[in-house]
Amino acid sequence: MKRLFAACLITASASLAGAQVGTTTMLDPNLATEAQLATVPHLNAALVKAVVDKRPFLSVKDLHAVLSPTLNADQLKDVFGKMWLHINLNTASKEEILMIPGLGNRMLREFEEYRPYKSMAQFNREIGKYVKADELARLASYVFVPMDLNTASDADLTTIPGLGARMLREFKEYRPYKDMAQFRREIGKYVKPGEVARLERYIVLQ
């Protein structure tokens, strides 16, 4: 059994090592179509419209603020099992971390203990001490570690939700970036300010 668990953990490590944004099958509220949003439990037409009208969301707290006046705690857990905005492992508040379905105060402490995270591989290694491989993969799907704009690999950058080959080229074209103002100015040539802000939440300059 121990060998089996170790093998599963190694497999999970390999799947996360090349990514800075947790792999997920959940819908991204900033990118999902109205038809996709309508498949999320408890999202009626009015809530779907509210989500679309408030985009882009720059934190899961902002998403929660749109949904919580209508949905109760149990309904929100159902929603956040199907639709989620990745949270920054290094800056997310206690409130945001606890919005992850099934995550209690004990795991909240473990999440915070290892800050600052430098990679998803580190998250996988540290949190893997406490949970089995399938739960580790589930938790990883809710989080990201911001990546250095000047040094991140193509593989890391393309884990940013919605970042395709064209925008990858633009990200790299202006390297080295001197500050985030330059990033906003250059990438703002290609997308609207809201989309620049959405992309910016996944990156840092070190």
Provide the 10 A C-beta neighbour count for residue 91.
12
The 8-class DSSP code of residue 83 comes to B
Residues of the chain with pLDDT under 70: 1-19
**Alpha-carbon distance values, 5 to 10, 107, 126, 137 (Å):** 9, 20, 15, 13
Write down the residue that tokens 């599963």 correspond to. Answer: 8
pTM given for the model:
0.89
The angle subtended at Cα 197 by Cα 194 and Cα 200, nearest 5°, is 155
- Per-residue pLDDT of 66-85, as tens digits, reads 999 999 999 999 999 999 99
- Per-residue pLDDT of 34-68, as tens digits, reads 999 999 999 999 999 999 999 999 999 999 999 99
